[in-house]
Amino acid sequence: MSTSTSQSLSHSQKNLWIKHPLACFTANNDDASNGIVINGDRIIELVAKGQQPQSDIHQTFDAREHVLLPGLINTHHHFYQTLTRACPPALNKKLFPWLQTLYPIWARLIPEAHSTAAEMAMVELMLSGCTTAADHHYLFPQGLENAIDQQAEVALKLGMRATLTRGSMTLSQKDGGLPPETVVQTEQQILDDSERLVKRWHQQDEKSLVEIALAPCSPFSVTQDIMKASAVLAEKYKVGLHTHLAETEDENNFCLKMFGLRPLDYLESVGWLNERTWLAHGIHFNDDEIRRLGTAKAGICHCPSSNMVLASGICRVNELKAAGSPVGLGVDGSASNDHSNLMQEIRQALLIQRLRYQADEFTHLDALALATSGSAAVLRRPDIGELAVGKKADLALFKLDESRFSGAHDPLAALVLCGASKADAVMINGEWKVKNKEWLAGDLNELMARHQQAAKTLYNECY
């Protein structure tokens, strides 16, 4: 007997058995030691240790050299920032001066470069085992008003699952904010476009790949009015809310000076402290704030590499989870990471959390859970993030065939501790997107050449 009964099968689709994996992490403690069976875009059966499938099998994938994981889920990114990696003027700066240095470069972003950046980010994520990516785009200089539409089109072209958050900024430098006036918009422009995007893209494609959420950039870049209006609009259309919060002590001090409130108090005052919300970073919360976040079921995206690069601090993952907040993982923007590799981010999460907790209080399995079931909970996606009957067939398979793994004894631990970075095979919605560590749908070298030229042009226009 297998660990679960098979669901009814489509006569037009064949059953695929991913069989005999070297190791398997289901993210739910179910036994899939002998693999999983897929029909169409869903998992229909888990096969326990020593057992055979109950379903009729038409195709097989021999996974005896692979570690099998649910597709990894990235809950916070800025795709456009792949164009400003390791950017000389922005190196070795704290968050606010870092932003002030980069805003003039990003203000020159044009549609073609933005589309290329989005494609590069998503392909890079996919090659690292990521099957779902949430992006936070909040820059809309003249000519780039349809940035979210571009991202949606790229996601559909790639066949990648994406939660695209319609960001916004209304406070420019002349209003006491950080960005230049050329990248901010009026509140009416933001609200009109947000509603248009939800109607046009949110859960409208036949494969349920694209979702939309609303995402004013941060407390220091928008007015209270746009925060309140976004919350009302999100409730009307039952979509998510996303923003940066409590990333640095400078932000806490800014909120106290600007609003007379700490960031979480401000968030509550504008109607955001609820389960529809997930927050990027969430580092500088006190004990009472963590309790309130947990009670509200607000999600947190842990961004370890970015927090390390900008010396922002360490997210209190265990306390947040214990309080009731779902906690997921994100690579953040490539200008503060500086990569889009979610598998590497899992290792970073393990290492940075070991600076906060004892070695037995945060394990490699905890780190893997952040990027799978934890991230799915943050995005309120019950159909992904686990290997279980009825879940989407989003998978990542890794080989331990590099020198870094030689001598390793526990495959799941080796995946994290020895530093896996590139998936051998990736499936989204039951369709193979990566095999033999190669992107199947395009020419990576051609994409890199296009992307590098766009990055060079953008930088040279400013320096």
Phi, psi (degrees; rounded to nearest 5) at 105? -70, -50
Confidence of residue 92 (pLDDT cuts 50, 70, 90): very high
Question: Which tokens hold the place of 209?
Answer: 């790949």
pLDDT at 217 over 90: yes
Average pLDDT for the chain: 95
- Written as one string, the DSSP assignment of 279-330 is EEE--S--HHHHHHHHHHT-EEEE-HHHHHHTT-----HHHHHHHT--EEE-
pLDDT at 455 over 70: yes
User: Which is higher by pLDDT, 402 or 178?
Assistant: 402
Angle at which helix 111-127 crosses helix 444-460, to 10 degrees, equals 130
DSSP conformational letter for 90: G
Confidence of residue 12 (pLDDT cuts 50, 70, 90): low
Cβ atoms of 248 and 312 within 8 Å: the answer is yes
Cβ atoms of 198 and 247 within 8 Å: the answer is no
Handedness of CA 148, 154, 159, 161 (dihedral sign): negative
Residue range 209-226: average pLDDT? Answer: 94
Give the count of beta carbons closer than 10 Å to the beta carbon of residue 234: 24
User: Which is higher by pLDDT, 450 or 9?
Assistant: 450
Cα–Cα distance list, 415 to 75, 344, 365, 425 (Å): 21, 10, 10, 15
Cβ atoms of 9 and 3 within 8 Å: the answer is no
CATH superfamily label, 15-70+387-439: Urease, subunit C, domain 1 (2.30.40.10)
Please list, in sequence order, all residues whose beta carbon lies within 8 angstroms of the beta carbon of residue 196, skipping any fewer than 6 positions away: none
- Residue 153 sits at the vertex; the CA angle it makes with 150 and 158, to the nearest 5 degrees, is 125
Could you give the CA distance from residue 239 to residue 213 in angstroms, rounded to a whole number?
Answer: 5
Give the count of beta carbons closer than 10 Å to the beta carbon of residue 360: 6
Confidence of residue 9 (pLDDT cuts 50, 70, 90): very low
pLDDT number for residue 10? 44
pLDDT number for residue 302? 98
pLDDT at 43 over 80: yes
Residue range 26-31: average pLDDT? Answer: 98
Domain boundaries, the chain: 15-70+387-439, 72-378
Cβ atoms of 245 and 299 within 8 Å: the answer is no
pLDDT number for residue 81? 97
Options 3.40.640.10, 3.20.20.140, 3.40.710.10, 1.10.10.60; CATH for 72-378 is 3.20.20.140
pLDDT number for residue 177? 80
Beta strands in 5-74 (DSSP E): 15-19, 23-24, 35-39, 42-46, 59-62, 66-70, 72-74
Residue range 217-223: average pLDDT? Answer: 90
pLDDT number for residue 178? 81
Question: Which tokens hold the place of 447?
Answer: 């994409």
Longest pairwise C-alpha distance within the chain: 68
pLDDT at 418 over 50: yes
Could you give the CA distance from residue 66 to residue 63 in angstroms, rounded to a whole number?
Answer: 5
pLDDT at 220 over 90: no
pTM score of the predicted model: 0.96
Percent of the chain at pLDDT > 90 equals 91
- Residue 404 sits at the vertex; the CA angle it makes with 403 and 406, to the nearest 5 degrees, is 65
Three-state secondary structure call for residue 211: strand
pLDDT at 315 over 60: yes
Could you give the CA distance from residue 44 to residue 27 in angstroms, rounded to a whole number?
Answer: 17
pLDDT number for residue 5? 39
Question: Which tokens hold the place of 419?
Answer: 């530093």
Residue range 191-214: average pLDDT? Answer: 97
pLDDT number for residue 240? 98
**Three-class HEC string of 198-209:** HHHHCCCCCCCC
Q: Which secondary structure element, helix H or strand E, spans residue 245, and what is its range?
A: strand 240-245
First-to-final CA distance of the chain: 65
Cβ atoms of 180 and 172 within 8 Å: the answer is yes
Could you give the CA distance from residue 304 to residue 220 in angstroms, rounded to a whole number?
Answer: 22
Give the count of beta carbons closer than 10 Å to the beta carbon of residue 311: 11
Residue range 42-55: average pLDDT? Answer: 97
Asked if 15-70+387-439 and 72-378 have one fold, the answer is no
Phi, psi (degrees; rounded to nearest 5) at 438? -115, 135
pLDDT at 49 over 70: yes
pLDDT number for residue 7? 42
Pairing of strands 161-168, 210-216: parallel
Question: Which tokens hold the place of 316?
Answer: 């209190």
Q: Where are the alpha helices (DSSP H) in 107-210?
A: 111-127, 147-158, 187-201
- Taking only the tens place, the pLDDT of each residue in 303-313 is 999 999 999 99
Could you give the CA distance from residue 126 to residue 441 in angstroms, rounded to a whole number?
Answer: 12
pLDDT number for residue 3? 44
- Taking only the tens place, the pLDDT of each residue in 328-379 is 999 999 889 999 999 999 999 999 999 999 999 999 999 999 999 999 999 9
Cβ atoms of 111 and 144 within 8 Å: the answer is yes
